[in-house]
Amino acid sequence: MSAISREDVVHLARLAHIEMNDAELDKMTGELAVIVDSIAAVSEAAGDDVPATSHPIPLTNVLREDVVGKTLTPEQALANAPDADENRFKVPAILDGE
Amino acid sequence: MSAATETLVDFDEALETYDPVLGFEVHVELNTKTKMFSSAPNAFGDEPNTNVNEVDLGLPGVLPVVNKAGVEYAIMIGLALNCKIAETCGFARKNYFYPDTPKNFQTSQYDDPIAYDGYIDIELEDGEVFRVEIERAHMEEDAGKLTHMGGAAGRIQGADFSLVDYNRAGVPLVEIVTKPVVGAGKRAPELAKAYVAAIREIVKNLGVSDARMERGNVRCDANVSLMPKGADKFGTRTETKNVNSLRAVDHAVRFEISRQAGVLNAGDTVTQETRHWHEDTRTTTSGRPKSDADDYRYFPEPDLVPIVTSAAWIEELRSRLPEPPAERRKRLQAEWGYADAEFRDVVNAGLMDAIEETIAAGASAAVARKWWMGEISRLAKNADVEPTELGATPATIIELNSLIEAKKINDKIARQVLEFVIAGEGTPTEIVEARGLAVVNDDSALGAAIDDAMAQMPGVVEKIKGGKLQAVGALIGPVMKATRGQADAGRVRELVLEKLGIEG
Amino acid sequence: MSEIIKLSAAALAEKLRAGEVTSVEAVQAHLDRIAAVDGGERGVHAFLHVNAEEALAVAAEVDAIRAAGGAEAEALHPMAGVPIAVKDLIVTVGQPTTAASKMLEGWMSPYDATVIEKVRAAKLPMLGKTNLDEFAMGSSTEHSAYGNTRNPWDLDRIPGGSGGGSAAAVAAFEAPLALGTDTGGSIRQPGAVTGTVGVKPTYGSVSRYGAIAMASSLDQIGPVTRTVLDSAILHELIGGHDERDSTSLTDPVPSLVEAAKLGATGDLTGVRVGVIKELTGEGYEAGVQARFDESLALLAEAGAEIVEVHCPNFKYALGAYYLIMPSEVSSNLAKFDGVRYGQRVLPEEGPLTIERVMGSTRAAGFGDEVKRRIILGTYALSAGYYDAYYGSAQKVRTLVQRDFAAAFEQADVLVSPTSPNVAFEFGSKSDDPLAMYLNDVATIPANLAGVPGISVPGGLSEGLPVGIQFLAPAREDARVYRAGAALEKLLEDKWGGALIDQAPELAAAIEEGAAR
């Protein structure tokens, strides 16, 4: 496993949708490198024969009957919206409009 | 590269050099009562943000719970596609940011789809059968609906802002993915269209989806690549997104074959990319190059637990499956005795179910076809609705037909009665009664009209007397006129001959 | 100081039922205490929001029902009228829920968490919402966007985290009961460093619906109190199956109060207590180790059979936790994007696209620790690293579960110090994320395996509380209550009272500090 690079952090910040300036990227790169180093041993702890556990307590088939429950009113739904119009959530343009 | 600068190669010419390889990802919206992971209603066309609860909006603290009907429908689709059903499978999170995705991840399935390794046989119009292999069918949730405002008519490009309605967010989807479809050659566009039509028909027949493409219930992403004839390695493919009508599926595949052939003939390489379909120009254009979007960071959904399918559960669902559409068609055509062309017209008109119901209600196959394919279809076309939406029912047809057989009305009047039924005036019998439309069977009334007609047309009478019995027809018109059409033509003929003392 | 606020929840409930105290008096006494010690520059600052009006209204309702008597009074929950504080990670109608983040400043939930529905149904007046590390990420409450919570034992020290607010509120007698959430120790470690009791229930035994998710496969809501019995009472009140949480267990709520009462006899004859070798010794402060060893001696005197167990894979637990937790964090916190609720921050320059608005909203709305974990989790899940990081961590989880399974073959409960150290001073670890992470080394294995754990006060080291942790197999929460209550009884007999009675007088400390 390679240590985490600044370019990695730039890419990860974009994936995570967190804008970072140069100073933040530098700081984050340094901190993550230390953390990643300290946890690297995990990758060698378990062999191929060890199954992964994603849920601490194994349960299966937790299913809901197809019965309609209560809904929010549009007013409740939109009460906390940063911006709204025509009972819908309003967001800036998806694409850069030149 | 824009479409304008690309050199398209004539379709037939392209296929002299290249073999097309197809692949399809069809999304089917299920018609469960509630959403896949929340108990909010799954309904189309309601006011924005009314069919949402805290789960659908991805509010802080919420958790998903799987809709059992969604799972069962997915298994039924898998069975109808001859798939294996996973003994155990789970959900995964597909992480990407987009404002129509409330949690900024889609709950989907990743490496353990509920159904896999299936096939369907697609019959083309001339009866040739292609087997399309199914790679997988998996469960996931739909996104909300974005409306782009400002700029050019609802397009994302140039929009000033967008509005988001989360009513559709969380609606259950089953995504059906094929293995590469090789060997269709020139029939690739036709096969593509027939494949999507077959999927639509299957899910509709199963009752698990409304299957209305114009509402987005069935949506197709079409993958196309070309390889030089004789090659054994696939070329680079493009994925044309949201090809949402059967005709468009045909056209999109046809266009991509022509376009990619142009690229390859020019010595260039096809770019692996997403392309957008434009119905107006019948072309595809390049989508944005993939950047972030290719790293979805899938991982097992920790808020949902695995699904384990028992043999008993699967068999119970299998027992609910209706007869497959292709088999049903073969059976019905044989039962009804329609000619190939007749039957195809019925299927294309979407009237197979209506005719089946009408026959089941007691009509003969011929009578059912006559009404549905004839007058009802004509009126529906005028009204610009589907024949089945016009208001005529199997009961209407049965009743009209028995009135005709009882000689209470004739064909022409029956057509008028149908119009009154559609106008909501009542049953055929009620209408005939109320409007006094019964055929004039009163021989004395008819007799007077016939006498008048014979008196006015002595030449015709002479011809009949001279043995030209078909000349009777000339008298029927005036008699009909005098009785406002309510005369039985057969009876008129009998009476004329009787009056003239001729053996009919 | 009013005697009411010094009562345990169980004792207060008894006085309410007997009519010796009214709920309004009880709530008012706690509101007065909050007013006296929580605010100001040197105040404890356990609360982010005080819910006085509603709390008094609920109290008045309970009092009226009790006064009227009859069937409705009979049907009241035994704890009705006893006030409670709620960690501000749990959503509540009528009070803001912020997760101590600027991202959710002023956010009002339109729905109640399942545990809040239960609290309302039992008519426990909610005093307000308590401080935490932003989105529960931290071990000191220094990562709150709304300022530090101070440790009532020493106002210059951290109250632990992430649930420092709930622990400090209980330790400072601002509330007899509080709700916390524990993802890697966020209930138990603050309990340890504030001299209070905190329990992380078996994963799935308390509904997570309405707890703002940090790491879904690790999070669990649990009680924060001053006595083991109070924790048992609150645990029974909030526990049980919830069909809105797919990971919720269908098992009936076990009789935890009975277990705590059994433990309080101080008799542990026949109980096998396993000392986890890997969670002692090196890395644990001498004072912590000393209190731990003394506790073991008491347990042995009480009839427990002390055995040593080995959990060789626990050394990987911290690393696995710091892969699984941030991975889930990176996904769980993606929803905070300024589209549907919460803050929206526009970019200062450049094109105004939704992508950039999301980016600047998240840049401004999240603090450094949250960003660090999101980026780390994004890395651990990304293509090319998944198998090495997230995949390996999930395998370690299996190994940790196997270690527990083997240990529970030899012992009924396991024991360790809750935290390797006592409360540290503000700022002493905030520049070193890794040092901060080590606070949770003893609490994390329980979250990875889903097993229950309790932290009970084990005495003082240099005047600061030390916590002792008991762990039990999944669904055997009753065992930690029995063991915890036994140790509590044995130590209190030795001390001649509760550890919290040795805490410095708070009002004086606040004044003294302010005067400095």
Task: Give the pLDDT confidence of B375-388 residue by residue, as tens digits.
Answer: 999 999 998 888 98
Residues 181-220 of chain C with CB under 8 A from chain A are 202-204, 217-218
End-to-end CA distance of chain A: 41
How much is the CA Rg of chain A, to the nearest whole Å?
Answer: 22
C-beta separation of B306 from B90 below 8 A = yes
Nearest to C434 among A35, A51, A96 (CB): A35
CATH number for the domain harbouring residue C126: 3.90.1300.10
Work out the pLDDT band at B446, boundaries 50, 70, 90. confident
Chain C nearest C-alpha distance from A70 (Å): 11
The verdict on B386 and B362 lying in the same domain is: yes
Please report which confidence band the pLDDT of residue A1 belongs to, taking 50, 70 and 90 as the band edges.
Answer: very low
Q: What integer pLDDT is reported at residue B486 of this predicted model?
A: 78
Give yes or no for residue B290 having a pLDDT over 70. no
pLDDT in tens, B173-200: 999 999 999 999 999 999 999 999 999 9
Q: Does one domain contain both B47 and B176? A: yes
Chain C interface includes B59 (CB < 8 A):
yes
B425 and B453 within one domain: no
pLDDT range class, residue A98, cuts 50, 70, 90: very low
Same domain, B87 and B222: yes
Contact across the interface for B48 and A94, Cβ inside 8 Å: no
Residues B421 and B471 occupy one common structural domain: no
Q: Which amino acid is at B60?
A: P
- Kindly state whether residues B365 and B482 are assigned to the same domain: no
Determine whether the interchain pair A70/B53 forms a contact, defined as Cβ–Cβ distance below 8 Å: yes
pLDDT value, residue B153: 61
Contact flag C379-A96 (C-beta cutoff 8 Å): no
Shared domain for B221 and B166, answered yes or no, is yes
Q: How far apart are CA B418 and CA C165, in angstroms?
A: 77
Q: What is the pLDDT of residue C419?
A: 97
Whole-angstrom Cα distance, residue C178 to residue C205? 18
Contact flag B95-C330 (C-beta cutoff 8 Å): yes
Is A14 within 8 Å of B292 when comparing Cβ atoms? yes
| Segment B44-82, tens digit of pLDDT | 989 999 999 999 999 999 999 999 999 999 999 999 999
ipTM for the whole predicted complex goes beyond 0.85: yes
How close B179 gets to chain A, by Cα (Å)? 29
CB contact (8 A) between residue A18 and residue C108: no
Q: Check C139, C140, C186, C207 and give the catalytic one.
A: C186
**pLDDT score of A94 more than 90:** no
Domain of C147, in residue numbers: 3-314+398-502
Nearest-angstrom CA–CA distance, C194 and C423:
8
**Cβ–Cβ below 8 Å for A64 and B162:** no
Q: Rounded to an integer, what distance in angstroms lies between the CA atom of residue C309 and that of residue C479?
A: 17
pLDDT at A7 over 60: yes
Mean pLDDT for A53-68 is 97
**How many angstroms separate the CA of residue B135 from the nearest CA in chain A?**
24
pLDDT tens for C77-133 read: 999 999 999 999 999 999 999 999 999 999 999 999 999 999 999 999 999 999 999
Determine the average pLDDT of the residues in B232-255.
93
- The single residue of C8, C15, C23, C87 carrying the catalytic annotation is C87
- Domain containing B479 equals 443-500
Q: Do residue B163 and residue A89 have CB atoms under 8 angstroms apart?
A: yes
Q: Which of residues 150-179 of B touch A (CB under 8 A)?
A: 151, 156-166
pLDDT band at B4 (very low <50, low <70, confident <90, very high): very low
pLDDT tier, B433 (very low <50, low <70, confident <90, very high otherwise)? confident
List, as ranges, residues 245-264 from C with C-beta within 8 Å of A: 246-247, 249
Q: Among this protein's residues, is C144 annotated catalytic?
A: no
pLDDT at C1: 56
Nearest-by-CA chain C residue for B56: C340
The closest CB to that of C246, out of B64, B162, B164, belongs to B64
Residue C391 per-residue DSSP state: I
pLDDT score of B481: 83
Q: Stretch B469-481: mean pLDDT, rounded?
A: 85
Q: Across the interface, which of A57, A62, A94 has its CB nearest the CB of C354?
A: A94
C-alpha count within 13 angstroms, C-beta hemisphere, residue C279: 33
DSSP-derived letter for residue C397 is H
Distance of CA C104 to the CA centre of its chain: 21
Same domain assignment for residues B222 and B278: yes
Q: Do A42 and C217 count as a contact with CB atoms less than 8 A apart?
A: no
pLDDT more than 90, % of chain C: 93
Evaluate whether residue C354 is within a structural domain. Answer: no
C351 chain-B contacts, CB cut-off 8 A: none
Task: Tell if the pTM clears 0.95, that is, is over it.
Answer: no
Q: Is pLDDT above 90 for A10?
A: yes
For B108, the 3-state DSSP assignment is strand
What is the average pLDDT value for chain C, to the nearest integer? Answer: 96
The answer to whether residue B2 scores a pLDDT higher than 80 is no
Same domain, B379 and B447: no
Q: Span B316-345, mean pLDDT?
A: 92
Nearest residue of chain B to residue A70 (CA atoms)? B40
Chain C interface with B: residues with Cβ < 8 Å: 90-91, 97, 99, 104, 107, 109-111, 113, 208-213, 215-217, 243-247, 327-328, 330-331, 334-337, 339-341, 354-355, 358, 378, 381-383, 386, 390
Residue B422 forms contact with C (CB below 8 Å) = no
- Asked if B99 contacts A84 with a C-beta cutoff of 8 angstroms, the reply is no
Mark whether C186 is an active-site residue.
yes
Q: Which of residues 2-61 of B touch A (CB under 8 A)?
A: 32-34, 38-41, 47-54, 57
| Chain C 150-169, residues with CB within 8 Å of chain A CB atoms | none
Q: In total, how many domains does chain B have?
A: 3
Question: Is B111 part of the contact surface with chain C (CB cutoff 8 Å)?
Answer: no
Chain B contact set for C216 (CB, 8 A): 302-303
For residue B389, name the pLDDT band (cuts at 50, 70, 90): confident
B164 to C339: CB separation less than 8 angstroms, yes or no: yes
Query: Is the pLDDT at B152 greater than 80, yes or no?
Result: no
State the sign of the Cα–Cα–Cα–Cα dihedral B446, B447, B448, B454: positive
Same domain? For B425 and B457 the reply is no
pLDDT of A3 higher than 80? no
- pLDDT band at residue A96 under the 50/70/90 scheme: low
φ, ψ of residue A31 in degrees (nearest 5): -65, -45
Considering only CB atoms, C246 lies closest to which of B60, B65, B95, namely: B65
Q: What is the pLDDT of residue B5?
A: 58
Query: Exposed/middle/buried for C77, CB within 10 Å: 0-12, 13-18, 19+?
Result: middle
Q: What's the gap in Å between the CA of B301 and the closest CA on chain C?
A: 9
Domain identity same for B49 and B180: yes
User: What domain count does chain C have?
Assistant: 1
CA dist B276 and A95 (Å) reads 15
- Rounded mean pLDDT, C279-285: 92
C150: pLDDT strictly greater than 80: yes
pLDDT in tens, B119-147: 999 988 887 899 999 999 999 999 999 99
**Per-residue pLDDT at B412:** 84
Which chain A residue has the Cα nearest residue C243?
A: A64
Q: Are B191 and B22 in contact (CB under 8 A)?
A: yes
Structure confidence at residue C344 (pLDDT): 96
Distance from CA of B299 to the nearest CA of C (A): 7
Q: Assign B441 a pLDDT band (cuts: 50, 70, 90).
A: low
Q: Nearest by CB to A85, from B163, B295, B302: name it.
A: B163
- The structural domains of chain A, with segments of one domain joined by +, span 1-45
Q: Which residue of C has its CA nearest to A9?
A: C375
**Contacts with C220 from chain B: Cβ below 8 Å:** none
Of the candidates C8, C139, C144, C162, the residue annotated as catalytic is C162
Neighbours of chain A (3+ CB pairs under 8 A): B, C
**Average pLDDT score over residue span C239-267:** 97
Mean pLDDT of C50-63: 98
Side-by-side strand order, sheet with C413-417 = C47-50, C126-130, C84-87, C177-181, C221-225, C197-200, C453-461, C464-471, C413-417, C272-276, C305-309
Band of residue B500 on the pLDDT scale cut at 50, 70, 90:
confident
Q: Which fold has domain A1-45?
A: Histone, subunit A (1.10.20)
- Claim to verify: residue B176 and residue B126 sit in the same structural domain: yes
CB B62 within 8 A of CB B105: no
Amino acid C328: pLDDT: 98
Task: For chain A, give the mean pLDDT.
Answer: 92
Q: What is the DSSP string of C55-72?
A: HHHHHHHHHHHHHH-HHH
Whether A91 has its CB under 8 Å from any CB of chain C: the answer is: yes
Q: Could you tell me if B305 lies within 8 Å of chain C, comparing CB atoms?
A: yes
- Of A35-44, C181-190, C310-319, which gets the smallest average pLDDT? A35-44
> For residue C249, what is the nearest residue in chain A, using CA coordinates?
A59
